[in-house]
Amino acid sequence: KAGVTQTPRYLIKTRGQQVTLSCSPISGHRSVSWYQQTPGQGLQFLFEYFSETQRNKGNFPGRFSGRQFSNSRSEMNVSTLELGDSALYLCASSWGAGQPQHFGDGTRLSIL
Amino acid sequence: GIQVEQSPPDLILQEGANSTLRCNFSDSVNNLQWFHQNPWGQLINLFYIPSGTKQNGRLSATTVATERYSLLYISSSQTTDSGVYFCAVDNAGNMLTFGGGTRLMVKP
């Protein structure tokens, strides 16, 4: 059974640009969550989608957005990139609330 | 929101030693997971354990939900156990809150 797949694995952008990251969940999982990991703030929840609807959102500015497609694949977008957006972005999928989340290998984003 | 504290923040062991990592949380939870993050950043599921005790090889975990803590036991540690161990909890619907982690180094 394939795990959670995130693409790309590495990305380098410059300030002011925008970026889109992709996440394909484990087959059958309808919930996809996104997390940001930085050395200073640790692992923080960004948002969660279930059946194409955003159900929960963390404390991040509106530059961070996402969506989920009918096949449960999800994308997150960050606009007007800032140096502080450099981070490891992790995606997780699960059957639903209260069920274990399974993480992808992450996308490492560097902002120059 | 819910608070999660892990201790100790850093741990150095000699290969073969045993250790106990602790996770305290501030509210009731419907999900508690332990993860191991390897040097490449991969978060590996160790346990899904909102309550009770589980064992998987040299690792075991216990969560006492009524007292709001969980323990991860590592026995006969190996160098491949090195990395960061995270506890994460959820009580609001698929929004994991992570602790600060325990950085473990196992020396040969």
**Nearest Cα to Cα of residue B96 among A98, A30, A37:** A98
Question: Which pLDDT score is estimated for A1?
Answer: 66
- Percent share of chain A, pLDDT over 90: 95
Q: What is the pLDDT of residue B19?
A: 97
pLDDT at B28: 94
Beta bridge partners of A24: A5
Give the nearest partner residue to B93 out of A56, A58, A105, using CB atoms.
A56
Contacts of A68 in chain B (CB under 8 A): none
Q: How far is A89 from chain B (nearest CA, A)?
A: 10
pLDDT confidence of residue B52: 97
Could you read off the pLDDT of B51-62 as tens digits, one per residue? Answer: 999 999 999 999
Report residues of chain B scoring pLDDT below 50.
Answer: none
- pLDDT, average across residues A74-92: 98
At B27 the pLDDT is: 94
pLDDT number for residue B94? 83
What is residue B10's three-state secondary structure? Answer: strand
Q: Given this model, what pLDDT does residue A2 score?
A: 81
How far apart are the CA of A3 and the nearest CA of chain B, in angstroms?
11
DSSP A15: T
HSE of A31 in the Cβ direction (CA atoms, 13 Å)? 20
Number of A/B CB contacts below 8 angstroms equals: 66
Contacts of A97 in chain B (CB under 8 A): 30-31, 90, 93-94
Closest chain A residue by Cα to residue B42 = A105
Tell me whether B93 touches chain A (CB under 8 Å).
yes
Q: Which of A47, A56, A101, A102 should we substitute to test contact with B (largest number of B Cβ atoms within 10 Å)?
A: A101
Band of residue A87 on the pLDDT scale cut at 50, 70, 90: very high
| Mean local confidence (pLDDT), A35-47 | 96
How close A54 comes to chain B (CA, Å)? 11
The per-residue pLDDT for B93 is: 77
Q: How far apart are CA B46 and CA B35, in angstroms?
A: 5
For the cut 80, the answer to whether the pLDDT of residue A108 exceeds it is yes
- Say what the pLDDT of residue B91 is: 84
Contact A101, B96 (CB under 8 A): yes
Distance CA A53, CA A110 (A): 29
Q: What is the pLDDT of residues A8-26, one digit of tens each?
A: 999 999 999 999 999 999 9
- Between B33, B86, B92, which is nearest A100 by CB? B33
Q: Does A93 touch chain B (CB under 8 A)?
A: no
DSSP E strand stretches across chain B? 4-7, 10-14, 19-25, 31-37, 43-48, 52-56, 59-64, 69-74, 83-90, 97-98, 102-107
Mean pLDDT (chain A, rounded): 96
Sign of CA dihedral A106, B89, A93, A35: negative
Is A35 in contact with A90 (CB distance < 8 Å)? yes
From the list B40, B86, B95, which residue is nearest A56 (CB)? B95
Decide: A55 and A4 in contact? Cβ < 8 Å.
no
What DSSP designation does A83 have?
A: G
Mean pLDDT of A86-93: 98
The reported pLDDT for the residue numbered B84 is: 98
Distance from CA of A16 to the nearest CA of B (A): 26
Determine the number of helices (DSSP H) and then strands (DSSP E) in chain A: 0, 11
